[in-house]
Amino acid sequence: MRANILTILTLLLVSLGVAYFIGCSEETSAEKDLKDEDFYALAQAKAQSTSGPGEPALWKLSDEDSDVYLLGTVHLLRPETQWQTDKIKRAFDESRYFYMEADIMSPETQQFMMKFKRDHGLLPPGKSLYDHMDVGDAYNFKRALEGIGFKPKALDNLQPWLASMEVAQYQILTGGYNPLSGVEIVLIGKAKEQGKPMRYLETIEHQMEVLSGGKFDEQLDTLVAMTDLLDKGTASLDLLVDEWADGDVAGLGALVANSKVMGSEDFYDRLLTQRNRNWIPQIIDILDEPGSSFVAVGAAHLAGDDSVILLLEDAGYKAERIQ
């Protein structure tokens, strides 16, 4: 089970920007001079100033003989989180196919994940992650890790991207989130019960390349920036989940749709914009298949100015929000 959990956690980190990244949907001239921590507070305030109908957002894309349902998801949830509404259940049950971002459960995926981390997640022999940090940054980061019960030595030989992932995983799990309660895992179980074929928009290989890509120094800056967030526990993820469960798409957009707090324009493009664009022709092809299909992707992909919903509109297709 551990390998499956790590894969699901990785999927969460890819789709929600390592769970710690949040952004602002628009940057005014007054915001340009704000520090990163100010953007964090501003994004939270924007998200909390809007509200949804109290249920996760669900869209339907239709033509004369087919429907495609689009559900934004959170890949890990607290077991008590309620999200399976009657509309979601009906849409899923009537659909012929179930589409997800990537295959997260097969033995081949588990083997690939372990090999990828061995091949791309370790520093050269004899090198220490902390040697790449300023002395003060390394000291503060270690102290923050110890404060949440994480042993700093466990990260010593890891590349910054993998170290960030390991710390985020630890805090998510110790904060009460359960991979087995995530939307995809629940829907995978229902698909298997119903004999519903599962299809994928991309590969786990591509997702890992997105997560591990970028310059070393940028990855290191991201890791060091986590120092001030570690004592906040899962507060960022809690807010994201609350906005998602409320169906507050504007709030989600405020939290995930800006490159500044995402770390860099390049990472934002790789994480969200390019992947969303890659999915549009695939979703249009799904619409060409007679009958109904159900597409579940991370909620970050269906919010903000670069969302799948808006990109579909740009391509001439109108997705109707039905919940």
Reported pTM = 0.87
Sequence spans of domains, the chain: 2-22+34-321
**Residue 307: what residue type?**
S
Instruction: Assign 266 a pLDDT band (cuts: 50, 70, 90).
Output: confident
Using alpha carbons, list the distances in angstroms from residue 39 to 34, 48, 96, 107, 230: 7, 14, 43, 41, 17
pLDDT tens digits for 160-205?
Answer: 999 988 998 898 889 999 888 999 999 999 999 999 999 999 999 9
Torsion sign across C-alpha atoms 243, 248, 250, 256: positive
SS3 62: strand
Residue 60 has pLDDT above 50, yes or no: yes
Q: d(Cα 162, Cα 212) in Å, to the nearest integer? A: 7
- Give me the percent of the chain exceeding a pLDDT of 90: 60
pLDDT tens digits for 131-144?
Answer: 999 999 999 999 99
Residue 40 neighbours by CB distance under 10 Å: 22
Q: d(Cα 131, Cα 138) in Å, to the nearest integer? A: 8
For residue 285, give every residue at least 6 positions away whose Cβ sits within 8 Å of its Cβ, in sequence order, or none.
none
Would you state the pLDDT for residue 26?
A: 33
| Residues 309, 59 contacting (CB under 8 angstroms) | yes
